[in-house]
Amino acid sequence: MSTPTPVWIVGVGMTPFGVRRDASVKDLTRDAVTEALKDAGAQLSDVQAAYFGNTCQDVLEGQIVVPGQMALRTMGFERVPVINVENACATGATALHQAVLHLRAGAADVVLAVGVEKTNVDDKRKMLGLFDGGVDVHDTDGVRAVLRELGGDVPTDENVPRSMFMDIYAALARSHMNTFGTTKDQLALIAEKNHTHAVDNPLAHFRKAMSAAEILAARTVAEPLTVPMCAPLTDGAAAAVVVNEAGLRRLAAARPVRVLASVLGTGSVRALSDWEHSVSRRVARAAYEQAGVGPQDVSVAEVHDASAFGELLQTELLGFCEIGAGGELAASGATTLGGRIPVNPSGGLESKGHPMGASGLGQIHELVQQLRGDSGIRQVPGARIALAENGGGMYAGEEAVAAITLLGS
């Protein structure tokens, strides 16, 4: 495999994540992009192409087909290509992936990737219904059959607004518990860690520490998951300015972070119990190969913890521990700040929040700060290599899309 063209992230920006009823998609986009440009020492006119990630505005506001043009031209972008990206909860990482490919193709020297979401509206059923399209809507019986095979009974009360994806994570968790002896207490420890990490993140949705006991005692969403183990519906935006060598020279960026690998993938036919061939596992291996590193080299990671079980599973699939040992890894303290491999120092999706189109770029914002040594009390000492895992949708018992990004200082 040939060595990819060098690419760097030279600027990042992120709004506070939370319930932002006072801010529109355009407002959130402007704030994140303006901050990223300032961080890069760039002007709007330096950007030669933009990838705009969003998953919900068409459903919630009716802004279909050209959301990126509407948001970016409003703040002054003209003439440059604006490409709209929608790829489930991996939309933000996909926007970055496309920006990296654009640069490696030699089509531009400076490219913007931005993700934005405003999910909080007055209709809760409509908000939660966003997730219904993340599975095969023409084979709902097949979807439920997979969930039953994984973890038993599936709720069918259509009168109760709910996110199908918490049923999916719950079924996966029950299967893991039955197979490997993972416990609900271990899931609570992961959630406790992430709520603790978020206390010192000024951009996080939730900034209140919670004990494992409080998390276990909270309302059940879908057994074994309680509310604090699950990511909230969040509004927010995040952006990154990405450059090749020519762009790096042009902007004279002071603190570039190298993109060591950017890999995107989908799944393959496999047995539900065959985690060795899962999409995240395969994409992670490809990313490690592209970067010339292994899981043992990773200093810090941000993973897609739409639920606490999501983090547990991804620590296994990324190679931070053996398959089946994610609960033990979490209970050991290894994934906590100060541990062997800190995971989600931002608070993760559970606490930092999950504005779907922005979540992947929110992870990149955190990791760029970590590699620059700018994370304050949340800083991982001597961080040199960082990994972001961002996934979304569900097909045949695993993510419909998985994205892995490796960054180096």
Return d(Cα 49, Cα 228) in angstroms, integer. Answer: 39
299, 312, 342 from 132: Cα distances, Å: 36, 24, 32
Active site residue 230: no
Half-sphere exposure in the Cβ direction for 216 (13 Å, CA): 10
Which of 176, 197, 205, 354 is flagged as catalytic?
A: 354
401 neighbors 264 (Cβ within 8 angstroms)? yes
Place of tokens 């760029």: 368
Structure tokens at 325: 């040992």
Closest CA to 125 of 170, 220, 62, 60: 60
Return d(Cα 135, Cα 109) in angstroms, integer. Answer: 37
Are β-strands 8-14 and 257-265 bridged in parallel, bridged antiparallel, or unpaired? antiparallel
Return d(Cα 203, Cα 206) in angstroms, integer. Answer: 9
Structure tokens at 403: 């994205």
Active site residue 89: yes
Structure tokens at 316: 């296994």
Half-sphere exposure in the Cβ direction for 21 (13 Å, CA): 3
What's the DSSP call for residue 354? B
Angle, to 10 degrees, between the axis of helix 140-151 and the axis of helix 164-180?
30
228, 327, 375 from 214: Cα distances, Å: 9, 19, 28
Sign of CA dihedral 370, 374, 380, 382: positive
Return d(Cα 81, Cα 111) in angstroms, integer. Answer: 10
Phi and psi of 74, rounded to 5°? -60, -35
CA dihedral 7, 8, 13, 17 (to 10 degrees): 70
Which of 56, 89, 230, 321 is flagged as catalytic?
A: 89
Among all residues, which ones are annotated catalytic? Answer: 89, 354
